Amino acid sequence: MKLILASHGDLCTGMLSSYQMIAGVNKDIAVISLTDAGIEDFVRRFNTMLDEFVRTHEVLIITDIKGGTPYNEAFNYFLRKKEKVRVISGMNLPMVIETGLNLQTKSLGDLYSLALDIGRSGIEGAEEIETQTDDIEF
């Protein structure tokens, strides 16, 4: 199984760097950025990477935003290779960490579901919790 993080600019590279700080190096995670070189350059590099990976692996692609070029190109590839590729938008660090840690133990379908579940549960607002000072132990 391979995981590709795809984004506008360096978001995906930063996600991989943070993943590696927390979980270590994972040779099955790759990144690809849409840069100032333009869309045509991105499409060429992305399709080359995917063609290489799907020869021997299933691939989960996590992108930054739905409707952006990385997502649209990933979705187009998914439509051609549904049996080997899944696509998720809304990349966040909890999603990347859990997905990366489970690349070799879960099927593509299970990994896809895990990424969606963890990604959603990783979004939470901070709220003040009232505590009773009588119950605080030191």
Question: What is the C-alpha separation between 81 and 58, in angstroms, rounded?
Answer: 10
pLDDT on residue 127: 86
Q: Which tokens in the block code for residue 21?
A: 């700080």
Which uninterrupted H or E stretch holds 17?
helix 11-23
Tell me the HSE value of 78 on the side-chain side, using a 13 A CA sphere: 17
N- to C-terminal Cα separation, the chain:
47
10 Å Cβ neighbour count for 132?
6
Question: What is the C-alpha separation between 51 and 92, in angstroms, rounded?
Answer: 25
pLDDT means per 10 residues, the chain with 138 residues, are: 98 98 97 97 98 97 98 98 97 97 96 96 85 58
pLDDT on residue 133: 59
pTM of the model: 0.91
pLDDT on residue 115: 97
Instruction: For helices 93-101 and 11-23, give the axis angle rounded to 10 degrees.
Output: 50
Whole-angstrom CA distances from 56 to 21, 53, 84, 85, 122 are: 28, 6, 10, 12, 31
CB 58 within 8 A of CB 78: no
